[in-house]
């Protein structure tokens, strides 16, 4: 059976705006040897599947610097310290990125984006009766276009490679699972 590794030491190496880097020294319970691991400490993230009364999903197009490409995604972002909980972050991000608000936010799932070196989670919310209420409020580093897409087209957009963000794909898995377990 795989056992938990004992942490012998931990030190912060760097601190950046959206994450910090730490080095943990741990002992293998199988071999007794010490190994160094580098962990990205980050706040939790949220994703929002905003559903309009007409059955559309509110999507965003934005340039992603990691891949150097414009992606098709759902609204999402970091759970800030000012947010009371992830649901508050979901409400805030939906409004900021799209100008939409929703009547109800339902937590439909949580994933660990990459537990090999990230310590955070991504929480997915279904936002019901999403409707436009104001212009978006982008931060200085955002350039976003909003598009409503029929929910029935989402599986095809994932299948043909138009939606490539792994956490967005996971969010729609949670959505399907939510529907099947009601």
- Is 0.85 topped by the overall pTM? yes
pLDDT in tens, 132-171: 999 999 887 889 999 999 999 999 999 999 999 999 999 9
pLDDT in tens, 56-96: 999 999 999 999 999 999 999 999 988 989 999 999 999 99
CA separation for the pair 182, 178 (Å, rounded): 6
Of 155, 66, 165, which Cα lies nearest the Cα of 124? Answer: 165
CA separation for the pair 58, 127 (Å, rounded): 10
| SS3 state of residue 67 | coil
Q: What domains appear along the chain, each with residue ranges and CATH number?
A: 6-41 (no CATH), 45-180 (3.90.79.10)
pLDDT for 39: 98
Is the confidence at residue 175, as pLDDT, over 90? yes
CA separation for the pair 94, 74 (Å, rounded): 9
């Amino acid at each position: 059976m795989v056992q938990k590794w004992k942490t012998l030491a931990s030190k912060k190496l760097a601190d950046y705006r959206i994450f910090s880097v730490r080095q943990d020294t741990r002992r293998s319970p199988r071999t007794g040897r010490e190994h160094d691991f580098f962990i990205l400490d980050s706040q939790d993230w949220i994703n929002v599947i905003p559903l309009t009364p007409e059955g559309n999903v509110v999507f965003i197009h934005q340039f992603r610097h990691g891949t150097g490409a414009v992606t098709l995604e759902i609204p999402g972002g970091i759970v800030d310290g000012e947010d009371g909980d992830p649901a508050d972050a979901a409400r805030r991000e939906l409004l900021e990125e799209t100008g939409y608000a929703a009547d109800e936010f339902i937590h439909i799932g949580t994933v660990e984006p990459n537990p090999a070196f990230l310590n955070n989670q991504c929480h997915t919310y279904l936002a019901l009766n999403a409707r436009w209420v104001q212009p978006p409020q982008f931060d200085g580093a955002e350039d976003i276009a909003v598009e409503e897409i029929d929910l029935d087209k989402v599986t095809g957009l994932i299948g043909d490679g138009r939606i490539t963000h792994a956490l967005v794909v996971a969010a729609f898995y949670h959505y399907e699972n939510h529907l099947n377990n009601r």
